[in-house]
Chains A and B, each alone.
Chain A
């Protein structure tokens, strides 16, 4: 598994949305051009990805610098609707994993059925003892955890890396 590359990405823009899914979906589509994501899935338009997180929650992932303005637009779009828009760009750490054996590595740490993971699916799960999420990208996977445990997550993945192990 020596060909695996694990990289901690610089902060990514993130916006948490809470509210009724229909309203959130319409606002998100109007502001970002992303279609409302199906349950457990994500949609993408340009640099913006919208992820389904829970029955009343979405997460928008975008450029770090764009998050503030995007959050303001969404807040304005939702104006009178009972919904919450919060920028959470600094709350999480995203890792980029590439290489042929990434799934084998991650399957030591995360209870994920990779064979059944959809191309646009966002799998909320855990990595060993902490909450985590992952999704596919063209060359591998993005793995996300909370910022305070980023060091723990990195160490877990490095420890799981060796060949035959």
Chain B
């Protein structure tokens, strides 16, 4: 039974009790506790159920590597699943729930999986795919979904906000242990800008817990002085509760700072993501103790030896009254010492090494502890809690020599440096057989732009084991003097990957490697046997190291078992890839400020506010919002659109066309350049005139269209589609910078500079005349001409162009005058029955005229010839972008799908995207199709459904009736007609 000791606990404040709940039960801890230490202090050892077999689990670790004690923290809009209890500080009112247990943590029905574990070995999930199909759907999938899984997903939107912090430094130190502090001090003294991040609330790392003497002071005092010196310096930024999550190219490092997860007051941002550019990165990230693989090593009460020390010394919590220690190295003897000093019993130390005579082992023996050399654990007794261990020879097959009653087991399989940050950008590892660890190979660091390494490790992360080694390594890494400390002699480790080494199948099936994903020694051996020899394949087949802890405890043990089974060495097998983040990062933190109204930038035209106050119903167009229509009270959107179309055709309509791209192309070679970009001739356009043009990519496919105006001898203004503004600007710059770099052409994107207002309909000229200021007569400004002038006292450029078939002008005006001119036009237009119209009316009117729309009639596979736009393709030019592509035989096949108009026989509209049904079925048994609908509307002008579509040999089949698909209904019949439904002679615009 775990409990709080009467004294001790350097991180807790016994004067400040903290109330919290676990699975609804009210409990009490102290300020400074983690959730895990507080639960242990309350005798709550079982903290969760395992992923696959639903075995009861308790904490094994005391840090970020914890695989078992995952909790659901908080409720409602502040609910967070899968939080590690070992790093979750306690706060007043914290509510925690265990995960993966049903109906309760103490009695879990899924435990039956454990009894059936023989049928759920590695890869069983994949094998279910090979069973008969119905079995997967009706048996396996429902079962797996119910049985597996960790925390539940939040059901409410997150109440918190998050933020980024961009920062810059010469040296970023990750880890505030004595190695990190030494490195930061040295960098500070060298005059560098330093940032030091530490994931825990307090700096100092293990040294403060384990005790050491540095520069003649107790470690705790040395740490205090070091932190004070760093805090005093203006060039140093210290950030606690901030984890170094990922290292990326060019010294870019993502660190995640917890701002409110440790306290009851939740005001302010929840987390801050530091996005740091560092000249160099010092990873002083320490090391993680490895578990040992013996049968029953997952029973609550079995813990890492270092974790036992942490709970004792940092939190004054005892994991048990009688703790058996099992180890293959000297470090675990420190745990024995701590236990004894706390007045707890250590019935035995089982040390797999045949003979050891180092000072700490002698000390412990002198204290009267029974140390059994060459021994290990055959198996742990107990279900929900350790009740004892069976002792065996490590060199044997597990024959039991003795049973020892105990309620806790402290295990140490040696230490693995935390090499993640070293490895994220490609730093290589080497296998240090003497220390039984993969450690960074200083000769093969991750390299920066200059070819030099930009990440270094310091201290235990480099593979240093003793305080003296840690300090020396940290000083050498940064180039300073190492603080002095006593050199303590330690006996070498003896690597142990399976305990006992001759364990049979029955024992191996109870030795856990990956606690979180329930992967056992037997599973890894099975994977090897089934041919998954690469460590990356074995990982995916068994799911070893694929849980939220990413195998921090299991990777090395797992690959050692794999190596043994394959008769290879550990370095031959190698490690899996270390990828960021180091521990799970919340999506909210990564999203930063991008949520709610700032999820995406919203682009507003100068007339946006007017439209908003006049009831616009918006549609998103890229990052813009455009008015779809302006419904009146009680009016449906369809009715509003219908009204807008009719009013524009009969009287006067106004459209906000500001989103269209406006690219100024200027220079001595501008004409030549535009002749290459457009399929037709732009160089021959006269100043003062406009021409409609098409742009294709190198393959000949149509990518954009618009009206080009010639401004003067060297200047053209190219209108693009709304979506094309930035894309075509980039396309032009690409050709100018990469291919035709010697052509004298400038492109300036003026889209933001101008508001553009379309004034459309039979009364268009009259409203402009009423405003007055320039001659807008047919003679002065014929169709496809433009002129500069003033309207109502505002400087404008007036284009007489039409996308509706009506008499129409587009007025370009500096953006700051856009709203004023719009209002003036609306006011002047009142006498002429003006109404604003939206994008849907725009679309309908262009479809009635058979004008194509990029993105409707084109989809990246359509050439202009498919759309009957041969007239816009110059035959005279030697070349233009797309010319060669359009020569491909595919585009000249006689049965190519080509643009036609479609008129339904019953007058209703065709379905958007409907297919034209052909004869018979194809090789795959699918209905043959002969075309599709590209645009379809109800035309208010003609009061019937009209559509455009691409149909095989379409233009040759005028008058033919073909059938189109309808979802859930009988096909619909439509006649092939000309795509120009309205005013085919163009009389309305020609006035």
CA distance A91 to B594 in the complex (A): 24
B600 interface residue per 8 A CB criterion: yes
Task: List, in ascending order, chain A residues with CB within 8 A of B668's CB.
Answer: 82
When the two chains form the complex, which single residue of A112, A130, A162, A165 contacts B166, counting CB atoms closer than 8 Å?
A112
A44 interface residue per 8 A CB criterion: no
CA distance A112 to B167 in the complex (A): 8
Q: Nearest chain A CB to B255's CB is how many angstroms away?
A: 14
Given contacts A19-B746, A165-B163, contact A90 B754 (CB under 8 A): yes
When the two chains form the complex, which single residue of B168, B268, B664, B750 contacts A164, counting CB atoms closer than 8 Å?
B268
B975 interface residue per 8 A CB criterion: no
When the two chains form the complex, which single residue of B168, B594, B624, B748 contacts A148, counting CB atoms closer than 8 Å?
B624
Q: Nearest chain A CB to B817's CB is how many angstroms away?
A: 8
Assess whether B754 is in contact with A160, with CB atoms less than 8 Å apart: no
CA distance A87 to B664 in the complex (A): 12
Q: Which 5 A-B pairs have the closest CB atoms?
A: A90-B815, A148-B603, A91-B752, A113-B168, A84-B746
Interface members, chain B 608-628 (any A CB < 8 Å): 623-624
Q: A152-B598, A165-B163 are in contact. List 17 more A-B contacts (CB 8 A).
A: A16-B748, A86-B748, A88-B748, A88-B750, A90-B754, A108-B593, A112-B166, A128-B594, A128-B598, A149-B603, A150-B604, A152-B603, A156-B598, A160-B163, A160-B593, A164-B267, A165-B161
Task: List, in ascending order, chain B residues with CB within 8 A of A150's CB.
Answer: 604
When the two chains form the complex, which single residue of B166, B597, B816 contacts A110, counting CB atoms closer than 8 Å?
B166
A89 interface residue per 8 A CB criterion: yes
A159 interface residue per 8 A CB criterion: yes
Number of A interface residues at 8 Å Cβ cutoff, please give it: 41
Task: List, in ascending order, chain B residues with CB within 8 A of A91's CB.
Answer: 750, 752-753, 815
Assess whether B594 is in contact with A113, with CB atoms less than 8 Å apart: no
Residue of A nearest to B599 (CB): A129
Task: List, in ascending order, chain A residues with CB within 8 A of B604's CB.
Answer: 148-151
Residue of B nearest to A14 (CB): B753
Interface members, chain A 92-109 (any B CB < 8 Å): 92, 107-109
A140 interface residue per 8 A CB criterion: no
Q: A105-147 vs B: 1/0 string, CB under 8 Å?
A: 0011111110110000000000011100000000000000011
Task: List, in ascending order, chain B residues with CB within 8 A of A130's CB.
Answer: 601
Interface members, chain B 790-845 (any A CB < 8 Å): 814-817
Task: List, in ascending order, chain A residues with CB within 8 A of B275's CB.
Answer: 111
CA distance A6 to B750 in the complex (A): 27
When the two chains form the complex, which single residue of A108, A110, A146 contacts B752, counting CB atoms closer than 8 Å?
A146
CB within 8 Å of A: which residues of B? 161, 163-168, 193, 259, 267-269, 275, 277, 592-594, 597-598, 600-606, 623-624, 664, 666-668, 744, 746, 748, 750, 752-754, 814-817
CA distance A43 to B267 in the complex (A): 44
Assess whether B752 is in contact with A148, with CB atoms less than 8 Å apart: yes
Can you name 16 A-B pairs with beta carbons within 8 Å?
A18-B748, A82-B668, A84-B667, A90-B754, A107-B167, A108-B593, A111-B275, A113-B168, A128-B598, A129-B594, A129-B600, A149-B623, A151-B604, A152-B598, A155-B598, A160-B163
Task: List, in ascending order, chain B residues with CB within 8 A of A111's CB.
Answer: 166, 275, 277
Task: List, in ascending order, chain B residues with CB within 8 A of A151's CB.
Answer: 602, 604
CA distance A155 to B594 in the complex (A): 11
A25 interface residue per 8 A CB criterion: no
CA distance A107 to B272 in the complex (A): 12
CB within 8 Å of B: which residues of A? 11, 16, 18-19, 82-84, 86-92, 107-113, 115-116, 128-130, 146-152, 155-156, 159-160, 162-165
Task: List, in ascending order, chain B residues with CB within 8 A of A83's CB.
Answer: 746
Task: List, in ascending order, chain B residues with CB within 8 A of A109's CB.
Answer: 164, 593
Task: List, in ascending order, chain A residues with CB within 8 A of B269's CB.
Answer: 165
Assess whether A129 is in contact with B601, with CB atoms less than 8 Å apart: yes
When the two chains form the complex, which single residue of A18, A89, A149, A164 contacts B602, counting CB atoms closer than 8 Å?
A149
Task: List, in ascending order, chain B residues with CB within 8 A of A128's CB.
Answer: 592-594, 598, 601
Residue of B nearest to A88 (CB): B753
Task: List, in ascending order, chain B residues with CB within 8 A of A87's CB.
Answer: 753
CA distance A91 to B753 in the complex (A): 4
Assess whether B277 is in contact with A113, with CB atoms less than 8 Å apart: yes
Q: Nearest chain A CB to B718's CB is how many angstroms away?
A: 14
When the two chains form the complex, which single residue of B267, B593, B754 contacts A159, counting CB atoms closer than 8 Å?
B593
CA distance A124 to B754 in the complex (A): 23
Assess whether A84 is in contact with B666, with CB atoms less than 8 Å apart: yes
CA distance A18 to B594 in the complex (A): 34
Assess whether B168 is in contact with A116, with CB atoms less than 8 Å apart: yes
Q: Nearest chain A CB to B610's CB is how many angstroms away?
A: 15
Assess whether B598 is in contact with A86, with CB atoms less than 8 Å apart: no
Given contacts A111-B166, A115-B193, A149-B603, contact A155 B748 (CB under 8 A): no
CA distance A164 to B161 in the complex (A): 12
When the two chains form the complex, which single residue of A11, A146, A156, A162 contacts B593, counting CB atoms closer than 8 Å?
A156
Assess whether A115 is in contact with B164, with CB atoms less than 8 Å apart: no
CA distance A88 to B164 in the complex (A): 32
CA distance A147 to B746 in the complex (A): 22
Given contacts A86-B748, A88-B750, A107-B167, contact A155 B597 (CB under 8 A): yes
Q: Nearest chain B CB to A82's CB is how many angstroms away?
A: 5
Residue of A nearest to B163 (CB): A108
CA distance A92 to B751 in the complex (A): 11
Assess whether B601 is in contact with A86, with CB atoms less than 8 Å apart: no
Task: List, in ascending order, chain A residues with CB within 8 A of B603's CB.
Answer: 148-149, 152
Q: Nearest chain A CB to B550's CB is how many angstroms away?
A: 28
Q: Nearest chain A CB to B730's CB is how many angstroms away?
A: 13
CA distance A135 to B816 in the complex (A): 23
Task: List, in ascending order, chain A residues with CB within 8 A of B165's CB.
Answer: 107-108
Residue of A nearest to B669 (CB): A82
Q: Nearest chain B CB to A143's CB is how many angstroms away?
A: 14
When the two chains form the complex, which single residue of B167, B597, B623, B750 contacts A86, counting CB atoms closer than 8 Å?
B750
Q: Nearest chain A CB to B286's CB is how many angstroms away?
A: 29
User: Which of B600, B752, B817 has most chain A Cβ within 10 Å?
Assistant: B752
Q: Nearest chain B CB to A145's CB is how many angstroms away?
A: 9
Q: Nearest chain B CB to A27's CB is how many angstroms away?
A: 15
CA distance A116 to B744 in the complex (A): 36
Task: List, in ascending order, chain B residues with CB within 8 A of A107's CB.
Answer: 165-167
CA distance A11 to B664 in the complex (A): 21
CA distance A83 to B666 in the complex (A): 9
Given contacts A113-B168, A116-B168, contact A84 B815 (CB under 8 A): no
Residue of B nearest to A86 (CB): B748
When the two chains form the complex, which single residue of B166, B259, B748 contacts A84, counting CB atoms closer than 8 Å?
B748
Task: List, in ascending order, chain B residues with CB within 8 A of A129's CB.
Answer: 594, 600-601
Assess whether B168 is in contact with A115, with CB atoms less than 8 Å apart: yes
Task: List, in ascending order, chain A residues with CB within 8 A of B268's CB.
Answer: 162-165
Residue of B nearest to A82 (CB): B744
Q: Nearest chain A CB to B88's CB is how many angstroms away?
A: 21
Task: List, in ascending order, chain A residues with CB within 8 A of B168's CB.
Answer: 113, 115-116
Q: Nearest chain A CB to B667's CB is how many angstroms away?
A: 6
CA distance A150 to B600 in the complex (A): 13
CA distance A112 to B168 in the complex (A): 8
CA distance A156 to B750 in the complex (A): 25
CA distance A150 to B604 in the complex (A): 8
CA distance A146 to B815 in the complex (A): 11
CA distance A88 to B751 in the complex (A): 10
Task: List, in ascending order, chain A residues with CB within 8 A of B753's CB.
Answer: 87-91
Q: Nearest chain B CB to A83's CB is how many angstroms away?
A: 8
Residue of A nearest to B659 (CB): A148
Assess whether B161 is in contact with A159, with CB atoms less than 8 Å apart: yes
Q: Nearest chain A CB to B264's CB is how many angstroms away?
A: 15
CA distance A11 to B755 in the complex (A): 15
When the two chains form the complex, which single residue of B164, B167, B600, B815 contacts A147, counting CB atoms closer than 8 Å?
B815
Q: Nearest chain A CB to B386's CB is how many angstroms away?
A: 45
Q: Nearest chain A CB to B821's CB is how many angstroms away?
A: 12
Q: Nearest chain A CB to B609's CB is how many angstroms away?
A: 10
CA distance A113 to B193 in the complex (A): 12
Residue of A nearest to B753 (CB): A91
Q: Nearest chain B CB to A56's CB is how many angstroms away?
A: 8
Residue of B nearest to A108 (CB): B163
CA distance A123 to B498 in the complex (A): 59
Q: Nearest chain A CB to B852's CB is how many angstroms away?
A: 27
